[in-house]
């Protein structure tokens, strides 16, 4: 079970990531796209490319911080979810997978990280 505090922190981090990416010129498409096997935090448009964004938030950089918080299992789920999203939307644009890692007030945006 997820506590309200964690959910709220996650939602705030996703909103912060969305606003940050929009300031960088990306356009918002969708958020919290859920499938039985996974979820996509944000779907953004960067010119002709559709960008699937995983958002990680940590209050501390202990244990590697947010940038090291994504696992191979999560990457697999995100890829499956992205494929399902593309099929559902009946589209086939160029795609990219990005990570937005937020440690307290620092944002790191890694393009094409997996």
Q: Residue 106's closest CA among 6, 32, 22, 17?
A: 17
pLDDT at residue number 80: 97
Q: How far apart are CA 69 and CA 86, in angstroms?
A: 26
pLDDT one-digit tens code per residue, 76-112: 999 999 999 999 999 999 999 999 999 877 999 999 9
Q: How far apart are CA 53 and CA 17, in angstroms?
A: 9
CATH architecture of the domain with residue range 4-110: 3-Layer(aba) Sandwich (3.40)
pLDDT one-digit tens code per residue, 19-68: 999 999 999 999 999 999 999 999 999 999 999 999 999 876 666 677 77
Report residue 42 as tokens. Answer: 């944000």
Name beta bridge partners: 38: 35
Q: How far apart are CA 1 and CA 17, in angstroms?
A: 24
Report pTM.
0.88
């Amino acid at each position: 079970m997820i506590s309200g505090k964690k959910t709220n922190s996650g939602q705030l981090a996703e909103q912060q990531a969305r606003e940050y990416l929009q300031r960088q010129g990306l356009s918002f498409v969708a958020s919290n796209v859920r499938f039985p096997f996974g979820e996509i935090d944000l779907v953004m448009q960067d010119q002709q490319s559709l960008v699937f964004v995983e958002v990680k938030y940590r209050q501390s950089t202990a244990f590697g911080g947010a940038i090291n918080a994504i696992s191979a299992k999560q990457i697999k789920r995100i890829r499956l979810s992205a494929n399902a999203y593309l099929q559902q939307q009946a589209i086939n644009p160029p795609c990219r997978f990005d990570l937005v890692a937020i440690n307290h007030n620092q944002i790191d945006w890694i393009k094409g990280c997996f």
